[in-house]
Amino acid sequence: MSRAPGHAEPASRPKADWKCAFCKVEIRWAGPHRDRGLPANWSKEHGGPACLACRRDLAAEAAVEQQTELSFKERARLRSFALLEFEVRRDPDRSNAEIAGAVHTSVVAVQKARDRIGASSFPA
Ligand SMILES: [Zn+2]
């Protein structure tokens, strides 16, 4: 084997396997993992594949898009609720502390999100 070190073979230069339709971040599967599907934590949205960061944004945005009468503060609150609920639903087996760390909030806020989901109907 006489391969130049640190130089990938140009013939099979991998193009991005996935590109987020929203923020344009790109993911490439390396080596033997190439044929895997959508990257972990990505999803297919109407606009195309979405990375986790954009999925969070979309979840938060979806919560307020119909709410035209809300103040800025109320919208921010709804967005953060929606973001937390998205995170809890995405992987309910994580501890509250893990989820809180992932989205930079408090453990109490995560527990409240779980309670809201458990109650299933969002309090008006
Ligand atoms: Zn993205």
Distance (angstroms) between ligand 1 centre and the Cα of 26 equals 9
Domain boundaries, the chain: 14-119
As a whole number of angstroms, the distance between CA 36 and CA 94 comes to 24
CA–centroid distance, residue 50 to ligand 1 (Å): 5
Tens of pLDDT, residue by residue over 85-96, are 999 999 999 999
State the pLDDT at residue 44: 93
- Kindly tell me the sign of the dihedral angle through the C-alpha atoms of 30, 33, 39, 40: negative
Tokens of 66: 């119909």
Cα(93) to centroid of ligand 1, in Å? 24
Q: How confident is the model at residue 67 (pLDDT cuts 50, 70, 90)?
A: confident
| pTM of the entire predicted model | 0.74
